A and B are shown apart, each in its own frame.
Chain A
Amino acid sequence: MNLVRNHVLISIDAGTIMSGARAVEKALIEEIEKQGLSEEISVLETGSVGATGQGVIIVVYPEGVYYANVTVHDVPELVEEHLLKGRPLKRLILSEIPKQHIIKKGKSGLLKEQPRIVLKNSGVINPESIDEYIASGGYEAIAKVFTMKPEAVIEEMKHSGLIGRGGAGFLTGMKWDFARQAPGTPKYFICNADEGEPGTFKDRLILEGDPHKLIEGMIIGGYAVGANEGFVYIRGEYSLSIERLEKAIAQARAYGLLGDNILESGFSFDINIMKGGGAYVCGEETALIESMEGKRGHPRYKPPYPVVEGFRRKPTVVNNVETLANVSEIILNGAAWFRGYGTEKSPGTKVYTIIGHVSTPGLIEAEMGTTLRDIIFEYAGGIKDGKKFKGALVGGAAGAFIGPEMLDVPMDFINLKEYSAVLGSGAILVMDETTDIVGMLQSVLHFFKHESCGHCIPCRLGTAQLAKIIDRIASSKGTREDVDVMLKMSDVMRDTSFCPLGQSLYLPISSSLKYFKDEIMARAQ
């Protein structure tokens, strides 16, 4: 038997593929063969390691050396220096990567690194291999869950206090309970992977980096609520996610983890993929269901909620990707363990995409309650090019602008509400001192104008008018009255719009005025 001396992980995700990761991978394998190292070195694909915007990323184990911006031309030197002679190639080493651990602050103020929960396997295992997932403890939670009664699974989920990570902030265990108790069969279990909130790509990286974790979460959810059919509604633009998830589903079927009578438990469950058509509003669960039924993605009247009357008018659970990626860990380790992370009212961790003017943009996982200051400076290397922090847009376009005075507020679902901000999708867009706030607000309002589905009048007309007003202000032709009208109109839209889309505009507008009023007013003279 040959002993593998080094494992070379190459990150294959949408970001690295555009920098030529596939070509580098091919060159790497050929070069290793050419230098006669094939038996000692193994090249493995993995998902995102968390760093984005750094070109092709390669990690060499056991040393744990990260290389960035690797090109095909670098490969011969890299193989000869590091893999043959054992000397890491300094010029390509990535000095700073977004933290691969959860940083826990002890009572004494000491920092302690803890393994991740949701992103446990991302950038570590090969997402296209079910064996690697199983070897890292995958699908153990399924075996455990079949020894439990469905009611007990729901109880465990309720105790864990897991809040849905899609943005609305509803307790997952409660949602499952409502669906379980709702009359009517069959029941359906849907994963919402229609990630469209600007600045958010956590679900894509989970799907690309660890698709089996999602499948496992869905099987557990299906078992708990009594659904035998599951769907993943995924953005049409996410081609690599779709490809990896299709492979993972096929593997799970081949292993008897999906299909009839899973692991002789008597429970049957299968998953199908639905490809979206590119409409932001379909991230709203009832619009998503309409779209699945082959209609325009207009939201439905609520109540009845989907847990009572959803897909095909039957009880349906709709959960976000990140929510479901927590489930197997909660079942395996228990609700009490999960509550050891995060805050009293928002237990667990949150996956953030931190982007904009930071040194190391990317994907991180931090405990609920972590401050924005820690996220920017501990996890993401601080502001790019030594500039000053001006503010951030937290939670995507439907989120809130915040200023420097918010840097030390612990962020979780409940706490941020008290400050009229939201965690939303977990997108953090950091802006340095050079940023034009009016331009940012303009971009946000145009986004909503484009994505308004046209179903209800306040949103259809309101988004168009708001875009016009902000254009006026941006071109210095606006007045103070324009600013007042903007705020008032979005407030009316919040009260009268049919679905969260039209209700969302008040937050970015009011928050930008709260923190950057002088700057906006200066443009509206």
Chain B
Amino acid sequence: MYRDTILKKFKPTLENLLYILHDLQDNNPQRYVAPEDVQACADYLNVPYSYVHSVAGFYTMFSLKPRGRNIIRLCESPPCHLMGSKSLLDYLKGTLNVDVGGTTKDGMFTLELTSCLGVCGVAPAMMLNEDMYGNLTPERVDDILKKRREEL
């Protein structure tokens, strides 16, 4: 069971909770912290299920809902806003046919918003999984999504 392998990497102290959650989420095929993950974590650290759930729910980087194979996180902070992220958001919603937090029907992309990514020099910016993309325009977004679909 892969969950046990992950848990065993860490000492069972509460201070490792964020680390464990990062690791469990990264290894979940649906890219979220599943109820099974929360339970395994709670058992391992000897805390209630509700405790782990509340911590995972607090931080933006963790999702308690299943997500698509790729996660788009568009920056909505003031610097990106100034450079036009609002119209990009409308474009992304339209082209993917999802709302913020939603996943495309084919399970390929989940659209999320994020706070400042710290690449404001190339605003507007977004992350696709671990990769950052800047100086975005609708055309560039199309290219990025198309390339990603082809890679899979």
Return the contact of A200 from the options B14, B61, B62, B116 (Cβ within 8 A).
B116
- Once bound together, how far apart are the Cα atoms of A18 and B11, in whole Å? 36
Q: Which residues of B contact A361 (CB under 8 A)?
A: 120-121
Q: Which residues of A contact B62 (CB under 8 A)?
A: 277
Cβ of A199 and Cβ of B77 under 8 Å apart?
yes
- How distant is B129 from chain A, measured CB to nearest CB, in Å? 11
B15 an interface residue at 8 Å Cβ cutoff?
yes
- How distant is A158 from chain B, measured CB to nearest CB, in Å? 32
Q: Which residues of B contact A274 (CB under 8 A)?
A: 18
- Please, how many residues of chain B have a CB less than 8 angstroms from a CB on the other chain? 43
Return the contact of A278 from the options B60, B119, B133 (Cβ within 8 A).
B60
Cβ of A279 and Cβ of B60 under 8 Å apart?
yes
Cβ of A443 and Cβ of B18 under 8 Å apart?
no
Cβ of B61 and Cβ of A278 under 8 Å apart?
yes
Cβ of B131 and Cβ of A447 under 8 Å apart?
no
- Known contacts A356-B82, A439-B81, A440-B81; decide if A296 and B54 are in contact (CB<8 Å): yes
B97 an interface residue at 8 Å Cβ cutoff?
no
Cβ of B116 and Cβ of A199 under 8 Å apart?
yes
Chain B, residue nearest A241 (CB): B118
Q: Which residues of A contact B118 (CB under 8 A)?
A: 14, 195, 200-201, 204, 235, 237-238
Cβ of A453 and Cβ of B122 under 8 Å apart?
no
Cβ of B82 and Cβ of A277 under 8 Å apart?
no
Cβ of B17 and Cβ of A294 under 8 Å apart?
yes
- Once bound together, how far apart are the Cα atoms of A356 and B123, in whole Å? 8
> Chain A interface residue count: which class?
35 or more
A253 an interface residue at 8 Å Cβ cutoff?
no
B6 an interface residue at 8 Å Cβ cutoff?
no
- Once bound together, how far apart are the Cα atoms of A54 and B42, in whole Å? 47
Which chain A residues numbered 203 to 241 have a C-beta less than 8 Å away from chain B?
204, 235-239
- Known contacts A277-B21, A294-B15, A294-B17; decide if A15 and B119 are in contact (CB<8 Å): yes
Q: 0/1 per residue, A359-393, Cβ < 8 Å to B?
A: 00110000000000000000000000000000001
A397 an interface residue at 8 Å Cβ cutoff?
yes
A488 an interface residue at 8 Å Cβ cutoff?
no
Cβ of A294 and Cβ of B77 under 8 Å apart?
no
Cβ of A52 and Cβ of B61 under 8 Å apart?
no
- Known contacts A53-B135, A201-B120, A277-B61; decide if A447 and B54 are in contact (CB<8 Å): no
Return the contact of A201 from the options B21, B115, B119 (Cβ within 8 A).
B119
Return the contact of B121 from the options A238, A297, A355 (Cβ within 8 A).
A355
Q: 0/1 per residue, B43-61, Cβ < 8 Å to A?
A: 0010000000011001111
Cβ of B78 and Cβ of A450 under 8 Å apart?
no
Cβ of A451 and Cβ of B115 under 8 Å apart?
yes
Cβ of A397 and Cβ of B78 under 8 Å apart?
yes
Among A196, A235, A237, A393: residue with most chain B CB under 10 A: A237
Q: Which residues of A contact B135 (CB under 8 A)?
A: 53
Q: Which residues of B contact A18 (CB under 8 A)?
A: 119, 122, 131-134
- Once bound together, how far apart are the Cα atoms of A291 and B19, in whole Å? 11
Q: Which residues of A contact B71 (CB under 8 A)?
A: none
Q: Which residues of A contact B117 (CB under 8 A)?
A: 237
Cβ of B115 and Cβ of A278 under 8 Å apart?
yes
- How distant is A132 from chain B, measured CB to nearest CB, in Å? 25
B130 an interface residue at 8 Å Cβ cutoff?
yes
Q: Which residues of B contact A356 (CB under 8 A)?
A: 79, 82-83
Which chain A residues numbered 275 to 326 have a C-beta less than 8 Å away from chain B?
275-280, 291-297
- Once bound together, how far apart are the Cα atoms of A440 and B83, in whole Å? 11
Which chain B residues numbered 1 to 50 have a C-beta less than 8 Å away from chain A?
13-19, 21-22, 45
- Once bound together, how far apart are the Cα atoms of A237 and B119, in whole Å? 11
Which chain A residues numbered 429 to 459 have a C-beta less than 8 Å away from chain B?
429, 431, 435, 439-440, 443-444, 446-447, 450-451, 453
- Once bound together, how far apart are the Cα atoms of A52 and B55, in whole Å? 35
- Once bound together, how far apart are the Cα atoms of A453 and B82, in whole Å? 25
Q: Which residues of A contact B116 (CB under 8 A)?
A: 196-200
Q: 0/1 per residue, A172-204, Cβ < 8 Å to B?
A: 000000000000000000000001111111001
- How distant is B24 from chain A, measured CB to nearest CB, in Å? 13
Chain A, residue nearest B60 (CB): A278
- Known contacts A294-B15, A453-B58; decide if A353 and B120 are in contact (CB<8 Å): yes
Q: Which residues of B contact A199 (CB under 8 A)?
A: 77-79, 116, 120
Return the contact of B78 from the options A276, A353, A440 (Cβ within 8 A).
A440
- Once bound together, how far apart are the Cα atoms of A439 and B19, in whole Å? 37
10 smallest CB-CB distances across A and B, nearest first, come from: A52-B121, A277-B59, A294-B17, A198-B77, A294-B14, A201-B118, A443-B81, A278-B61, A278-B60, A198-B116
A contacts, CB < 8 Å to B: 14-15, 17-19, 51-53, 195-201, 204, 235-239, 274-280, 291-297, 353, 355-357, 361-362, 393, 397, 427, 429, 431, 435, 439-440, 443-444, 446-447, 450-451, 453
B contacts, CB < 8 Å to A: 13-19, 21-22, 45, 54-55, 58-62, 76-79, 81-83, 86, 113-123, 127, 130-135
Some 6 contacts from A to B, beta carbons below 8 A apart, are A18-B133, A196-B115, A237-B114, A291-B18, A355-B120, A446-B76
